[in-house]
Structure 1
Amino acid sequence: MVAVVNAAQARDVIRGENGLLSAAHPDLTIVLLSTVDLPAVRELAAACEEAGVGFLDCGVTPGDKAAEHGMVAILGGADDTVERAMPVLRDWAKKVVHCGPSGAGMATKIARNVITYGSWRTVAEASALVEAAGVDLDSLATVIENADPEGATLLQLLHMKQDGVPESLLKQVEGLMVKDLSAARELGTALGVDTPLVNIAHDRARQTLGLDEAPVRPTAPLPEDRRERGVEMMRRVYGPELAQSVGEPADPFTADTLDYLFADVWSRSGLSVRDRRLLTLGVAASTGRADLIKIQTAGALANGEFTPRQLHEAVLHLALYVGWCNATATHQGVTAALADHTAPAQESPEER
């Protein structure tokens, strides 16, 4: 069992010059307990398979309360490898959950962490609101602990998805959700408290409840081939029409646009597509080209990266940095993209 901090350490311990695989023997099973990204998991799993060694990715939780409450082992790997390791795993874990093939355990652990840290952000904004309103944090904690002592509300949406709640009920929930979040947003504005999570939750209430297109659409891993990766990344950034219009590059600039800009830069995990879009919008705004702004905005709307309200805020903010003339072009490009994006929804069935 390997418990280290990051992927580089995991590689060193498992694949390094004096790592575990250098002394591989029949029936050896390596269990990676560290939380690392999925490409690293797949890389290490392939190395173990090549050496004839079993490999399991095993996220563990809870961290700081393990001695008190016991660990949960979150497994990914082949059935026979899991079965072989089970006696050891059950010896220290209060619960072993086999989530699926290699990588499934790590994906589940990462998703669990999203819930944890996402809830922390929620608590941070809620705490800021009550403190600005002159309320002691102990009062907020007392209310939450007594109203929801088991923390069931945190996973209520997950259980609703599992149970298949009727759409009619979800629409009732949406009305309450929007009303309450509107009140939170107005309170934040009145008290001068920044509440970006409240704004997103309000603007994407329908998506959150599954009444609209999901806010995060699963996508297949990017292709290994560089050109194919570039085309696929361009499709994800700007949509299929623009990617198809490029065709087979006939000049060095277009080739490097696909092979370097999209395949190697836009596809990097250091920034999200939304982050890179915001940077690119800022640069495009400085050119005064409404057509370039429209392309960027259309891609952002297609991916659900920004709401119309956020885009208009961006135009106003950029105006102070790129000048009012350039901002006029930026506004024109954003407005044109918004008009195109909403046009189909406004047409009658006969017009469609």
Structure 2
Amino acid sequence: DVVLSPNGAFSTLRRGALFIDHTTVSARIARQIAVEGRDKELLCVDAPVTGGQSGAEAGTLAIMCGGSAKAVDAARPILSAYAKRVVHVGKSGAGQTAKMANQMCIAGAIAGLSEAIRFAQIAHLDLDKVFEAISGGAAQSWQMDNRFHTMAKDEFDFGFAVDWMRKDLGLAMDEARNLGASVPVTALVDQFYVDVQAMGYGREDTSALIRRLPRRKGKA
């Protein structure tokens, strides 16, 4: 409705205008917007972002773009003002599909990190030493660098909400069904997030996934 309704954005744009969509929606909607845009001679780019709140504040976001080369080239100078990486993934809808893959990776990483932290706590390890030991090796990730210590301290009042992640994982699983792709880990972690929502933490950061894991042994 915001874009395609009679009073939507497209009704006010001049021919040849550039339309950049940073929302995370289905690839089908992105393709529909692009088709409507072509009819109006608009340059449309589906451009979902990743990098979190900190990336937005620091201007270091990564943006995955779908659309024609002409549209993405027109958008690049604008996007580069607040993104460190701008990648033309493919045709319209490809940016959204790449964002789904991104969210699947994040969900799996947070699930693994949650279990690792709880495991180390139950084993009475010094978490600072654990972080020092493993964060420089193959286990290193953005989630580890930016969420390990806050997860260990049960701090989740920031970042990307669990409710939003569930919406994104739903989009990813819908697209996987359309493509005939198997995503069992994504489906499992999505159900873990259902547990977190049921606990009342849907508005907390996605790293709150660790809340569903007990701190003491014998409680699993």
For this structure pair, what is the TM-score category when the shorter chain's length is used for normalisation? 0.5 to 0.7
Output the TM-score relative to the length of structure 1: 0.38
**What is the percentage of aligned positions where both structures have the same residue?**
27
Work out which of the residue numbers 1, 4, 7 in structure 2 matches 1:18: 7
For 1:128 and 1:28, locate their aligned partners in 2 and report how far apart those are by CA, in whole Å: 51
Per-residue CA deviations over 1:134-154 (Å, capped at 9, x if unaligned) read: 334334323223x43993799
For 1:105 and 1:59, locate their aligned partners in 2 and report how far apart those are by CA, in whole Å: 6
Residue 39 (structure 2) pairs with residue 50 (structure 1): yes
* Greater helix proportion: 1
Task: Tell me, yes or no, if the aligned pair for 2:59 and 2:82 is still in contact at 8 Å.
Answer: no
Residue number in structure 2 paired with 1:35: 24
Per-residue CA deviations over 1:304-352 (Å, capped at 9, x if unaligned) read: xxxxxxxxxxxxxxxxxxxxxxxxxxxxxxxxxxxxxxxxxxxxxxxxx
For 1:153 and 1:92, locate their aligned partners in 2 and report how far apart those are by CA, in whole Å: 19
In structure 2, do the counterparts of structure 1 residues 153 and 38 end up closer, same or farther at CA, with 3 Å as the change threshold? closer
In structure 2, do the counterparts of structure 1 residues 94 and 42 end up closer, same or farther at CA, with 3 Å as the change threshold? same
For 1:14 and 1:153, locate their aligned partners in 2 and report how far apart those are by CA, in whole Å: 33
Residue number in structure 1 paired with 2:50: 61
For 1:68 and 1:134, locate their aligned partners in 2 and report how far apart those are by CA, in whole Å: 36
Residue number in structure 1 paired with 2:100: 110
Structure 1 segments of 4+ aligned residues over 3 angstroms from their partners:
136-139, 218-222
In structure 2, do the counterparts of structure 1 residues 46 and 153 end up closer, same or farther at CA, with 3 Å as the change threshold? closer
In structure 2, do the counterparts of structure 1 residues 153 and 22 end up closer, same or farther at CA, with 3 Å as the change threshold? closer
In structure 2, do the counterparts of structure 1 residues 71 and 27 end up closer, same or farther at CA, with 3 Å as the change threshold? same
Work out which of the residue numbers 77, 82, 85 in structure 2 matches 1:92: 82
Output the TM-score relative to the length of structure 2: 0.58
Gap runs ≥5 in structure 2? 144-174, 191-220
Which amino acid is the alignment partner of residue 99 of structure 2?
Answer: K
In structure 2, do the counterparts of structure 1 residues 65 and 219 end up closer, same or farther at CA, with 3 Å as the change threshold? closer
Task: Tell me, yes or no, if the aligned pair for 2:45 and 2:72 is still in contact at 8 Å.
Answer: yes
Alignment of 1:64-79 (within 5 A): 64-66=53-55, 67-68=57-58, 70-79=60-69
Per-residue CA deviations over 1:232-274 (Å, capped at 9, x if unaligned) read: x9xx9xxxxxxxxxxxxxxxxxxxxxxxxxxxxxxxxxx96xx
Gap runs ≥5 in structure 1? 1-11, 155-217, 223-232, 237-270, 276-352
Per-residue CA deviations over 1:172-220 (Å, capped at 9, x if unaligned) read: xxxxxxxxxxxxxxxxxxxxxxxxxxxxxxxxxxxxxxxxxxxxxx989
Larger Rg: 1
Deviation at 1:34, TM superposition (A): 1.2
For 1:115 and 1:48, locate their aligned partners in 2 and report how far apart those are by CA, in whole Å: 31
Deviation at 1:123, TM superposition (A): 0.8
For 1:220 and 1:91, locate their aligned partners in 2 and report how far apart those are by CA, in whole Å: 36
Task: Tell me, yes or no, if the aligned pair for 2:65 and 2:90 is still in contact at 8 Å.
Answer: yes
Which amino acid is the alignment partner of residue 39 of structure 1?
Answer: R
Which amino acid is the alignment partner of residue 93 of structure 1?
Answer: A
Deviation at 1:50, TM superposition (A): 2.7
Question: Relative contact order (alpha carbons < 8 A, sep ≥ 6): 1 or 2 greater?
Answer: 2
In structure 2, do the counterparts of structure 1 residues 38 and 83 end up closer, same or farther at CA, with 3 Å as the change threshold? same
